[in-house]
Structure formats: structure tokens, C-alpha cells
Structure 1
Amino acid sequence: MFKKKILFVASVPVHFHAFHRPYMKWFSDNGYEVHAVCNGDFEDPNIHKLWHVDFERSPFSFSHLKSFNQLKKIIDENNFTLITCHTPMASVITRLAGAQARKNGTKILYTAHGFHFFKGASLWSWLTYFPAELMLTNLTDAVICINDEDYDLISVKGSKSASYYKIPGIGVSSKRFMPISKNEKIALRRFLNFSQDDFIIIYAAEFIDRKNHKLIIDAIHKLSNTIENFKVLFAGRGVLLEKTKNYAFEKGVSDKVVFLGFITDIEKYYQISDIALSASKQEGLGINLVEAMMCGLPVVATIDRGHCTVIDHRVNGILYPQQDSDKLSEAITELYSNNDFYINLSNEAIKKASYFDIKNSLEQMSKIYKIYL
């Protein structure tokens, strides 16, 4: 029997791995043939076919014409019912390459995981990405946002021929990320070679400039005089990893920082930690903070559109100004020294994180899919 085809598009396979498996499964379970395209390898039991396209993330790469032709050929030859695209440059190319298919009935949805233009972004970002995104809404059936700022802007400025939606993030599994008891926490710490007496702080993020690990090292340098037994866990990899290690050494805090590398069981490290941090310069949402909150951690993060969607200041976490290591250090110290405040934030973090559960995200997203299928 002929099955209608669905195409997922993202620049890199890690995006599929991190966010899209539940949505691919939803389509497969509902009788659709699921295809995916990215620059790399990816396996999932719900994918019928994986296509390769040489996507580049830079907006100024000369290879975009090649990836446009590769993708256009795939789209033109497969008669997709719906294309759902993600990541900025891959989504630009998808909407251009799918323009003719869309005239023939294919629906194209774009999920914006955080526009590059936002309050506080550089003039260069606004001049580069904003006009392009406005133009491309004419080639898009629906734009899906994950924070209020993005939705409020694009729904007003974008083409009236497109529809606009906001969903509670792309979803986090509460079956994987959950609080554990005090005794379980002690046992897990022992298993992972951490002390029961350590005050553990965690930041899960790629080592790139936007994630701003340097700010956290500046802050914990100041903590040495106020908190004796603390550890900072950095989970992730990236181009600035070695520079960050060197900076920690220069600041004299190497003995306080543990570089975990890329790990597939991040939930265990949230569960042994006391608080989670973000120093990011900008986020579409801040999925790492949602994961930590589901495990019962109060979070301390920079003031940013994505973080403000997740964190209610001094209710389930603490927001601090961008580039302010003093305020970050003060927030950590307050959570360390005020147990009642800590417990209140922990309880509220669990409540707020439930809104971003994959069940809620998938339920809302499936309603949008059904409009266009």
C-alpha cells in the first residue's frame, strides 16, 4: 500500500538525535513513511530513508548552491506530503528548494529553535537574518516558535500567508530526567566518584563562544573564599574546550572543575548535582536547564529570551545580567547558604519543568501536523 511521505531536514544529525526521534515515531506510528536529510549519519528505526546533503552552517558558504541542488532533486523526486525543517541554514535552503513542490501541494513547516535576531543581538545578525526570514515566510506554511519573543516578532512581521504557532519547547522526557531520593543521590555520587559533602554545580553546553564558559570560571574563582567543598561539572565538547581548560588553570580553579566530555547519561550528573548553570549569551529556550529542573535542580542563568521562558526569577531559579560574574557568584552563594530558599526553588523547578514534558510538546505539535496533512 502506498504511504504518504514525510521529510525531516536539519543541518547535522545530532539535531535529530537530540530533538526529533519522538516526532519521527509519531509519523511512523500514524502510517507515514519517514525520510530525513542532513549532513552526516543518523539511524532510527522509524526512518525509512536517510538522505545526505552537504549543508554548511555559515550563511556565506559557497557550497549552498550545491546543497540547494542536492535537496531540490530529493524533494522533486519524492512527492513529500509534508516537510518539517529545522536549523537556520538548512531551513533557508529547504524553503527555497521546496518552492515548486509547495505549489504542487507539499506543505512546509519551519520550527525556529531560536532566531539569530533577538533583543540584544548584533546589528549584523539583524541585517543578515531578519530580512531573509521575513522573505522566507512567504514560502512557508507554518512557523513554529519555542519562546514568546520569537513568536511575538515573527507573527506580527511575517507574511500573512503563513500561520504562526508557539509550542512548549521540543520536549524533554520526564521518564529519563527525574529527581532521586537523598539516599539514591549519595549512592550515585559514590558510584561516579564524587563526595557526599561536595556542593556540585553543573553546566551542560558545547564549548563555543556563545556558551560563555569563561564567565563561569570567573565566578567560581570568587567562590573559593565562600564555599569550601564545591565542584563544577562541565559536560560537552567543542572547539574551545582546550582554551577553557587553560583558562581554568590560569585562574587557579583547575582542582574545582571536572571536564566530563560528551556523555550520553547526562541525567545521572544532573541527579548528583545541587544546582545547574547557564552563562549563554543567547538561547532559543535552554533545554539543558529544563532537563536539570526536571531532576529537581534550581537553575541560575543569564537574562535571555529563552531562559526567561523557562525561569521565573526567584521562583524556580535565579536570572542574572549578561557578563556579570559577580551576580552569578552571589546567586550560587545564596543557594548554598539558604536551605529554605533552595528547597522552594527546587520544588518549583520540578513544577515548571513539567510544562516542557515531551508529552505536552508532542501533543501540541501533532495538532499542528494534522492541520497540514
Structure 2
Amino acid sequence: MKKKILFCATVDYHFSLFHLPFIKWFKEQGWEVHVAAAGSLKLPYVDYQFHLPIQRSPLKKDNIAAYKKINALIEKYQYDFIDSHTPMGGILGRLAARNRRNKGLKVIYTAHGFHFCNGAPLLNWLVYYPIEKIMAHFTDLLITINHEDYSLAMKHKFKAKEIALIHGVGVNPDRFTPVTKIQKGILREKHHYHRDAFLMFYGAEFNRNKNQSFLIKALAHIKEQQPEARLILAGEGPELNHCKELAESLGIRHMVDFLGFRKDIDLLLQMCDLVVASSLREGLPVNIMEGMAAGLPIVAVPNRGHGELVCSGRNGWIVKNVNEMADKVKLLAADERLCKQLGAESREIILEKYSVNKVLEEKRKLYKKVINEMGGEVQWAVH
């Protein structure tokens, strides 16, 4: 009989963006793979996919129905393994699984950035810290993706059976590859940019945490010295109109391109010179890793995720305010050689630690260790 695994998260596109290599790997090992999350996105490598009426806030009543559905799925399919992600997916998945752990069910939770962290609002600590600490009791393996979260879990004595640290969810360096200057020029012509423009990119949902207004204000500081600079923003969200109005009020609307939701991030990165990042909180941001894989330098504000990826002076800089961001952009815009040097270091860091194959190997070892505890040695296929 095939072993069964349930992947659980708040929304299904979380799996599409970050976890298909791991879902595919389980399928290759002969497992029956189920997924439970909100949404109707068709995912590959999945045997059964279930919609959950799950909400991001732990205070929403719909989460009671989502919990009941996960519980019913566990009872019906008798899973061997639950792999949960996102705060609410992790909470409900572990709650529903808690009474079956003494019957052999193994439960993993990956924290993609605790909502409580250094600099997080007090409310986050009041709400999410006690929840995560309690939920750790129902967790066989708690996986963290940055050193700060790992240290927090250890320091505060989270009672998961094991706590581990890995290098995020990985990025495919073969998709996000650097291009030659000639290739970059061709891409720019296709997208109607001047060959000599200095293009900065940031791809993220427009919300208060992602803080795109910071980047727009920094751009206003360099408009006189670098009139050919352009800020390219991909994404949608509740703060989009505010950012458009801000760019208009600062007289730089013509220097900011709001692209909306895009699926061609790899091509957009290939025509750009720099990745900028302004989010207040990050676990280990994939959008930054994609820019690094594409061979671009990074200029970002301080947070735990950016600090893991950006080595100041090696592949970019961590900056504390709008003036520092503007100064670093001006420096790079005036020095093509420095851009190239820092970008090469960015890609080297990805190849050293953060490629999807390296992360898959890290998780494979953790998966194998937990699953072998079910009883008997598991034979793993090699692909």
C-alpha cells in the first residue's frame, strides 16, 4: 500500500510558487500526494487536491470549518505524513493531526518567517508567539529558514521533537540566468526601454509590509542626477493606488512602471541592472534570491531575510533609510563594472547555498529521518 502525505497551507499558489520540486520528489518516491489549501489552482504531481475555507487571520470563523475538513481528511485517508506551511495552514494542520500522532502520523511544519521577530509589532508577539509555542508541542519537525527564527525557537524552548534550519525553499539557477549586454539590450528594446537606462526591479504584492513607497521616495532623490533611472514594480495589492499617487505627487510617475501581476519575472530580471527591496519583514525572500540568481546586485532595507542574503560590500548593501538607498543606487548607476562584480557574487551565493537542488537535498535528509522513525528503513529512489 502506498504511503500518503498531505501538504497543507493557507492558499494553493503557495505550493505553486515554492514547493512543486518537493511535491514532485515525494511523487517520484511512490507516495500518494494530497494537497489542502484555499483556491482551485490545478497543481501538477498531485493525486488529490482539496479546497479549504481557510483564512489568514486566526480569528476568522471560516477556520473552524477548515479545521473540521482537515480533520475529516486525516480520518478518511489515514495519512502517514503531514507537511504544513504558512501560519494558518500550520496551525490547523497540526491541530487536526494532534490526536493521531500516537498512531504513527508524523507532522512537519515549515516556518516561512515567524510573524513575531525582532522589530515586529507587539500585536504579532501577543497573538502569534503563544500560538506557535503551543503548536510546537504537536510537531515532530519544525523547519526554520533563517538564523533568527531558528534562534528564537531554540531560545524560547519550543517543544517540537526536532528543530532544524535550512536555506529557504530554493531557487532554480537554470531559469534565472545572467545575460550578455547584447541580450539585455534586445530585451530592453522589446519592452520599450532605452539601452542606457538604469533599471531597478522589485516584484512583490503591494501591501504595507512590502513598503514600495520607500523605493518611490528614494527614486525621487536621484531624479536629477539619474534621469534615465527607472523603477519597475511587478505585483498587485491594496497599496497599489497609493503608490501611484505618491509617484505622481513626487513628479516621478514617468520613472516608475507598475506592471501588475507577471509570470515572466525571469525575463524582466534579465533586462534589469539592480534588485531593490523595501519590505519590513521577510523570512527568506524568494524574489531576492531570483534576482541574485540572475546575476544582479541587491540594495535592501534591514530585516532578517535580507540580512541572510545580502552581504554588504560583497553582493550589494543593506541600507537604513531613503538617503542611503538613493546613494547606493547612484553609485551603481555610475559604475557598470561594480554592478557586474556584485552581481556575479550574488549568483555565486545562490549556487553555494540556495539553489533548489541544494535545498531539496537538505529537506530530503530531514524527511528521510522523520519518515524512517515510522518503523523500518525506507528505500528512496534516486532521480
TMscore range, shorter length: over 0.9
Q: Does 1:222 align with 2:192?
A: no
Specify which of 346, 357, 360 is matched with residue 343 of structure 2.
Answer: 346
**Unaligned segments of structure 1, at least 5 residues:** none
* Equivalent position of 1:293 in the other structure: 292
Secondary structure at the counterpart of residue 210 of structure 1: coil
> What percent of counterpart residues are identical?
34
* Equivalent position of 2:109 in the other structure: 110
* Equivalent position of 1:247 in the other structure: 246
Of 12-21 and 244-253, deviating more is: 244-253
Secondary structure at the counterpart of residue 223 of structure 1: coil
Partner amino acid, structure 1, of 2:339: Y
Please state how far the C-alpha of 1:156 moved relative to its aligned partner: 3.2
Distance between the aligned counterparts of 2:64 and 2:195, measured in 1? 56
Deviations 1:194-218 (A, max 9, x none): 1101110111110011000111111
CA contact (8 A) 2:310 2:318 kept: yes
Q: Does 1:358 align with 2:356?
A: yes
CA contact (8 A) 1:137 1:158 kept: no
CA contact (8 A) 1:96 1:139 kept: yes
Secondary structure at the counterpart of residue 54 of structure 2: coil
Please state how far the C-alpha of 1:52 moved relative to its aligned partner: 1.4
Matches within 5 A, 1:102-251: 102-251=101-250
Distance between the aligned counterparts of 1:288 and 1:20, measured in 2? 15
Of 153-162 and 297-306, deviating more is: 153-162
CA contact (8 A) 1:219 1:328 kept: yes
User: Cα RMSD between the aligned structures?
Assistant: 1.1
Please state how far the C-alpha of 1:37 moved relative to its aligned partner: 0.3
* Equivalent position of 1:370 in the other structure: 368
CA contact (8 A) 1:315 1:348 kept: yes
CA contact (8 A) 2:231 2:255 kept: yes
Q: Does 1:328 align with 2:325?
A: yes
* Equivalent position of 1:38 in the other structure: 37
Number of corresponding residues: 370
Please state how far the C-alpha of 1:61 moved relative to its aligned partner: 1.1
Deviations 1:307-336 (A, max 9, x none): 010010111111011xx2111111111111
Taking structure 1 as the reference length, the TM-score comes to 0.97
CA contact (8 A) 2:133 2:159 kept: no
Distance between the aligned counterparts of 2:289 and 2:117, measured in 1? 21
Distance between the aligned counterparts of 1:118 and 1:161, measured in 2? 19
**Unaligned segments of structure 2, at least 5 residues:** 372-383
Distance between the aligned counterparts of 1:46 and 1:286, measured in 2? 25
Q: Does 1:271 align with 2:256?
A: no
Of 136-145 and 184-193, deviating more is: 184-193
Taking structure 2 as the reference length, the TM-score comes to 0.94
Deviations 1:27-65 (A, max 9, x none): 000000000000111223310000111110012212222
